[in-house]
Each structure stands twice: as structure tokens, then as C-alpha cells.
A = this chain, B = another copy of it.
Amino acid sequence: MRIYLDCIPCFIRQALDAARHATDDEHVHEQVVRGVLDLSNNLDMHQSPPVIGQQIHQLIRKLVRVEDPYHGLKQRFNDIALKLYSKMRHIIIESEDPLETAVRVAIAGNIIDLGAKSQLPKTELEETIDQCLSGELSAKQLKDFQNAVNEAKNILYLSDNAGEIVFDRLLIEQLPIDKITVAVKGYPVINDATMEDAIHAGLPQMVDVIDNGSDAPGTILPSCSRAFRDYFNKADLIIAKGQGNYETLNDVNQNIFFILKVKCPVIAKDIGCNVGEMILQKTKAFKGEKENARI
């Protein structure tokens, strides 16, 4: 997905939020805003928004001289999510369709996105879980997702944020775990999950976990390591969580299912839905087993 003009005020707001999160030094806040104005003024609008997000957060880390300004907040969201883990697992296992319920729970976890919003009160997380358990979700896409999971031999699961990764674990537990590799970000960016968060969520005991070698808030393939790209190309199903992965991968010619909660009006317009909706959607280029067999 390309950058829209509406993204520009949002880049500046996000950068200011992040700068304030990283330091109280107002001089640095101003340097960050001026830096983002420069970036915005020399913008190639054909890039995806996370290309700019990556540059903004590199700039903030350089100016603030802190490797991971969101470290404490990520730990906090991991802990909050882990406290909800048993209750949510129980809801999933007891439900009529555990895979569907696990998809709903994984979408709910996508509300933990400090790129899209400055703050997230704990009550909003619990409200979102309730809404996602009963909200509208395409039965057709769910069936296609179930089929794609059954047919796939190698599944690459692209995680999104810390805290949310515990919700991803709940979905992964309902998938054939021997087929699955989970990818986290290579370096800290906003509150995106890194290897530390995967370990915190207990994922490496269940599945292979790799990092993508990149510090972009999404999956910008040229920015990822060769090792990651090999996994990406080899996978016959990619499950991509969150807005950043949608923005960077929706035009990629691969079998990808996007799972996200829409928090941004520009993405909503691109998808053709409303802000707040739950999305389980495959790429246009998606080929099922039958299509593959025909080729």
C-alpha cells in the first residue's frame, strides 16, 4: 500500500508521541518533528508508510540515544497479555469452533499497536476482546483460511507487537505447530515484538522462531535478512499480523493471509471497510491447492 497524503500528519503525530515517550527533552521533540518534516518533504509517495516509519524511529533512537525506548512498555503489555492467557485459552478450547475463536482472539490482540494509537488503557484491551469474540468475521474467509492451513506444508507467521504475540501464541496453538515458523522483528521499533518478546510469550518451546533482520514496523523485504527472505519465499502460506504487515505486503505476489484490526482510516479505505473492523483476508495473488495444481 502506498503512502497517502493523510499519512503525513499521522507520521508527525506518531513521531512526536514517540519522541515524548523516549525523552522529556523538548529540544529533542522539536528536532524529531523537524526531521520528519524533512523526510515528508522529500517523500516518494509510492513507498509504503512503514518505510517512513522505519526512518522516523531510526532518527528518534539516534537523537535520543536509547536503543529501545518502548522496552518497559513492551514488557508491561507482555505481562498484561500473559495474565489474560489462561482465561482466553479456556474460552478458545471450550468454544464451538476453537480455530475461529483463536483467530478472533488474535485479532483482538492487534489493538496493542502504539504506532496507530498513543496509549492503550487496559480496559480497552478487555473491551476489544469481548467485541472481537462476537463481532462480524467473514465465514468464507475463515473457511478459506482453514483450508489453506490444512493444505500448507510450510507456514510462516509474521508477528506484530509485543503483548499481542501472546494472543498470537493462542492462535498458533490451534494450528499444526510442526509446520510453523514464527518471525519477529530483527531490532526494536515502536512496540513491535522482537525475540525477547517471543521468549517472554513462551513461543520458542513450541515452534521455530526467527527474526527478520529488520527494524521496519512491517515487513519491507529488501530491508530483511537473506535468511528471512529464504523462509518467506519457501513458505506456501504466510500469516501476516497487523497493519504494518498489510501496508508492506498487500501487493506482494505470495500466499498471504492478513489478520488485523483496522485502526486507521487510510487502511480502511484501501481495504474497503470501516475503522474498527476485524480483517481476515488473503492477497489477491493467493493460490489455493487447486489453482496450484492447474499451473
* Contact surface of A with B, Cβ cutoff 8 Å: 5-6, 8-10, 12-13, 16, 29-30, 33-34, 37-38, 40-41, 45
Closest chain B residue to A30, Cβ basis: B5
Q: Which residues of B contact A30 (CB under 8 A)?
A: 5, 45
- Asked whether, in the complex, the Cβ of A37 is within 8 Å of the Cβ of B41, the reply is yes
Q: Which residues of B contact A29 (CB under 8 A)?
A: 5
Closest chain B residue to A6, Cβ basis: B16
- Asked whether, in the complex, the Cβ of A9 is within 8 Å of the Cβ of B5, the reply is no
Q: Which residues of B contact A8 (CB under 8 A)?
A: 12, 16, 33, 37
Q: Which residues of B contact A38 (CB under 8 A)?
A: 41
Q: Which residues of B contact A12 (CB under 8 A)?
A: 8-9, 12
Q: How distant is A269 from chain B, measured CB to nearest CB, in Å?
A: 13
Closest chain B residue to A39, Cβ basis: B37
- Asked whether, in the complex, the Cβ of B5 is within 8 Å of the Cβ of A16, the reply is yes
Q: How distant is A63 from chain B, measured CB to nearest CB, in Å?
A: 14
Q: How distant is A180 from chain B, measured CB to nearest CB, in Å?
A: 40
Complex A-B: 13 CB contacts under 8 Å: A5-B16, A5-B33, A6-B13, A6-B16, A8-B16, A8-B37, A9-B12, A9-B16, A30-B45, A34-B41, A37-B40, A37-B41, A41-B41
Q: How distant is A41 from chain B, measured CB to nearest CB, in Å?
A: 5
Closest chain B residue to A38, Cβ basis: B41
Q: How distant is A259 from chain B, measured CB to nearest CB, in Å?
A: 29
Question: Complex Cα distance A30/B20, Å?
Answer: 29
Q: Which residues of B contact A37 (CB under 8 A)?
A: 8, 37, 40-41
Closest chain B residue to A29, Cβ basis: B5
Closest chain B residue to A40, Cβ basis: B37
Question: Complex Cα distance A5/B17, Å?
Answer: 11
Question: Complex Cα distance A34/B40, Å?
Answer: 8
Q: Which residues of B contact A34 (CB under 8 A)?
A: 41
Q: Which residues of B contact A40 (CB under 8 A)?
A: 37
Contact of A13 among B9, B16, B33, B45 (CB under 8 A): B9
